[in-house]
């Protein structure tokens, strides 16, 4: 097993992480979760507009299991939040005259931090709910402070709620990144090729994102487990064995270390912790710890609901393919929007998974001027040139549900045609995918041409125009920029944290 990683593979070159930060071990009963001021969990938090949301949409409600020990501790403390604040004030007022045991200082400060977090979240929930119900975008727009931001109502479920939630995230959200673990498998990830988002997210979280990161774990809303499943596969997996035990073992060990060393994991059984993986085997690796699998926020490209992906707590991560670390220049300078797109639909890719065989069976190598479906694109033809000359880009699942084609199609302003089963689309809790893509049932593949021809010129024009608005949410910037893909991922995590039902006392 290699211990160091080559420079080209890391997003930020080498850096030193220090481990073994000594944390004051806190007594369990200084923590408790109690009802929020606004009992958000009992009200529905929808980003949908008036039309009923599609099935997988999101009245996010999560209950958090708390261990017996903590429930007992809650009874022991038995103080209201106001009581605790008073206690802190009384303590502060009297520091000069009274000597109070150091322990109670720590306990009170931590309790105070927890109350502040709880109140902050309650305020955020209230303001988002208010924005959601007023549905008045204009009162939000002037807060955005982003000159090139053009809100387009059509692409969001509820633009007002989304903007407010985003602003609240910027204002409050704090992530603690565990320092445990060594390079290359932790604190690093791939920064090019198909799984690039793993490395770019870890890198942004560790080296950028100052606004969202806290070095004080007591002030955090969520805790990040910064390991890379791609690097686990590279360094721990024995090729061709299909034995994923070493990956699960690594994950199990990581959780064991942080849950023994810090009080945070046990406090919520990991519900306010998250991992992120784009590798197909991300869900398998997460099986290393049952609580991580069942309770934590798993941010995954392989967001297959038939394989345990739970949209109420897990986050669907877009797959972005960066050759050599960059987007193809062809996708950066598109032809003018009125330029003609001679092909109706395009696909080129390998024969993987359950859906592509059906697509190939009906459409591969057909002498059709409008539908271009290749298993392997002939060497003299250019993939991205096809994309920008096609009206629709077919995005069938391969070995796993996600496909980098979806993001490439968005960049190419080629309306994505989603051909998948059990796939939860990225950011679908805030974005209306139907406003900028087409979903075709796998059983309709034989009729694909008919289905696409039936899209009217007017509808196509709107879909294409909306792609231009949604693009910014799928762009990887270094450093990250507001509303880009890094922030959208973070927002998805923020939303799940907001919807975590905190323990009623
Ligand atoms: C402590 O000080 C704060 C602010 O100065 C004040 O509001 C509060 O009433 C004081 N509490 C006590 C118990 O004296
Ligand atoms: C929307 O908000 C703006 C600014 O706050 C206000 O002037 C306008 O009257 C509101 N419109 C509606 C329909 O509530
Ligand atoms: C990964 O998990 C899925 C779903 O549980 C399973 O079908 C697949 O066989 C696993 N892959 C490997 C290599 O174990
Ligand atoms: C959390 O729970 C596990 C399993 O019950 C235990 O081994 C560990 O010591 C606990 N962690 C802390 C910080 O108490
Ligand atoms: C995790 O979820 C599975 C299936 O829902 C359930 O059988 C199992 O008991 C859960 N495990 C824990 C530790 O909650
Ligand atoms: C999603 O999961 C189901 C159940 O394991 C599996 O049959 C299907 O092939 C998966 N989809 C993809 C595209 O991998």
Q: How far is the CA of 82 from the centre of ligand 1 (A)?
A: 13
Q: List helix spans (H) across 95-158.
A: 102-134, 138-141
Give residues (CB < 6 A) around ligand 6: 304, 306-307, 353-354, 397, 400-401, 422
Distance CA 316, CA 311 (A): 8
Distance CA 287, CA 467 (A): 36
Distance CA 55, CA 422 (A): 11
Q: How far is the CA of 138 from the centre of ligand 2 (A)?
A: 7
Give residues (CB < 6 A) around ligand 4: 259-260, 263, 266
Give residues (CB < 6 A) around ligand 1: 89-90, 93
Query: How much is the average pLDDT of 128-156?
Result: 65
Band of the pLDDT at 151, cuts 50, 70, 90? Answer: low
Phi, psi values for residue 289, rounded to 5°: -135, 125
pLDDT tens figures, 344-381: 999 999 999 999 999 999 999 887 889 999 998 988 99
Q: How many CA atoms lie within 13 A of 427 on its CB side?
A: 29
Atom of ligand 4 nearest to the CA of 25: 13
Ligand that comes closest to the CA of residue 302: 6
- The SS3 of residue 129 is helix
Ligand that comes closest to the CA of residue 68: 4
Q: Which residues of 215-234 are buried (b: 16+ CB within 10 A; e: fewer)?
A: eebbebbbbbbbbbbbbbbb
Paired sense of beta strands 273-277 and 415-419, if any: unpaired
Ligand that comes closest to the CA of residue 92: 1
pLDDT tens figures, 410-426: 999 999 999 999 999 99
Q: How far is the CA of 86 from the centre of ligand 1 (A)?
A: 8
138 lines ligand 2 (CB under 6 A): yes
SS3 content of the chain, % helix, strand, coil (to 5): 45, 10, 45
Residue 207: the pLDDT is: 92
Q: How far is the CA of 398 from the centre of ligand 6 (A)?
A: 9
- Name which of 45-49, 217-221, 247-251, 372-376 the model is least confident about: 45-49
Q: How far is the CA of 79 from the centre of ligand 4 (A)?
A: 25
Atom of ligand 2 nearest to the CA of 136: 1
Q: How far is the CA of 261 from the centre of ligand 4 (A)?
A: 8
Question: Cα 39 to the chain's mean position, in Å?
Answer: 25
Higher pLDDT, 345 or 28: 345
Paired sense of beta strands 343-348 and 62-63, if any: unpaired
Whole-Å CA distances, 375 to 357, 363, 371, 372, 409: 10, 10, 13, 10, 18
Ligand that comes closest to the CA of residue 85: 1
The residue ranges of every structural domain in the chain are 7-24+175-322, 28-172, 330-474
Residue 505: Cβ-neighbour burial (10 angstroms; 0-12, 13-18, 19+): middle
Q: How far is the CA of 460 from the centre of ligand 4 (A)?
A: 56
pLDDT tens figures, 62-116: 444 333 333 222 222 223 344 344 444 444 545 444 555 565 677 777 888 888 8
Atom of ligand 1 nearest to the CA of 94: 14
What fold characterizes domain 330-474? Rossmann fold (3.40.50)
């Amino acid at each position: 097993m290699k211990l160091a990683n080559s420079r080209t593979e890391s997003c930020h070159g080498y850096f030193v992480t220090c481990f073994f930060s000594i944390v004051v071990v806190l007594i369990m009963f200084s923590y408790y979760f109690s009802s929020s001021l606004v009992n958000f969990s009992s009200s529905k938090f929808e980003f949908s507009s008036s039309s009923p949301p599609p099935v997988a949409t999101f009245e996010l409600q999560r209950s958090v299991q708390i261990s017996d020990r903590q429930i007992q501790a809650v009874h022991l403390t038995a103080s209201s939040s106001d009581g605790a604040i008073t206690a802190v004030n009384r303590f502060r007022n009297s520091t000069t005259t009274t000597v109070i045991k150091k322990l109670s200082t720590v306990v009170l400060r931590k309790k105070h931090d927890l109350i502040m977090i709880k109140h902050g979240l309650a305020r955020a929930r209230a303001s988002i709910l208010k924005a959601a119900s007023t549905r008045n975008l204009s009162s939000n727009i002037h807060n955005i402070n982003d000159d090139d931001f053009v809100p387009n109502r059509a692409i969001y479920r509820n633009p007002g709620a989304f903007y407010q939630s985003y602003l609240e995230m910027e204002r409050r959200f704090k992530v603690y990144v565990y320092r445990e673990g060594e390079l290359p498998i932790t604190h690093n990830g791939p920064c090019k090729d198909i799984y690039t988002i793993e490395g770019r997210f870890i890198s942004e979280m560790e080296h950028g994102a100052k606004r969202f990161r806290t070095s004080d774990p007591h002030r955090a809303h969520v805790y990040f487990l910064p390991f890379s499943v791609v690097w686990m596969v590279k360094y721990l997996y024995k090729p061709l064995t299909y034995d994923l035990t070493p990956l699960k073992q690594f994950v199990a060990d990581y959780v064991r270390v942080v849950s023994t060393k810090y009080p945070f994991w046990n406090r919520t059984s990991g519900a306010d912790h998250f991992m992120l993986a784009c590798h197909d085997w991300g869900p398998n690796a997460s099986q290393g710890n049952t609580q991580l699998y069942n309770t934590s926020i798993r941010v995954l490209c392989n967001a297959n609901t038939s394989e345990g992906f739970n949209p109420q707590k897990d986050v669907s991560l877009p797959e972005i393919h960066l050759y050599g670390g960059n987007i193809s220049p062809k996708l950066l300078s598109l032809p003018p929007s009125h330029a003609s797109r001679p092909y109706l639909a395009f696909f080129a890719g390998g024969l993987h998974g359950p859906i592509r065989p059906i697509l190939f069976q009906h459409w591969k190598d057909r002498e059709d001027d409008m539908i271009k479906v290749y298993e392997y694109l002939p060497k003299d033809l250019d993939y991205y040139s096809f994309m920008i000359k096609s009206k629709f880009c077919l995005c069938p699942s391969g070995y796993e549900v996600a496909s980098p084609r979806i993001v490439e199609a968005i960049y190419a302003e080629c309306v994505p045609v989603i051909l998948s089963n059990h796939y939860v689309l990225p950011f679908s809790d805030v974005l209306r995918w139907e406003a900028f893509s087409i979903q075709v049932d796998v059983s309709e593949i034989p009729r694909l041409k008919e289905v696409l021809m039936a899209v009217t010129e007017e509808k196509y024009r709107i879909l294409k125009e909306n792609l231009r608005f949604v693009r910014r949410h799928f762009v990887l910037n270094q450093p990250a920029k507001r509303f880009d893909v890094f922030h959208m991922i973070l927002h998805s995590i923020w939303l799940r944290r907001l919807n975590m039902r905190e323990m009623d006392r």
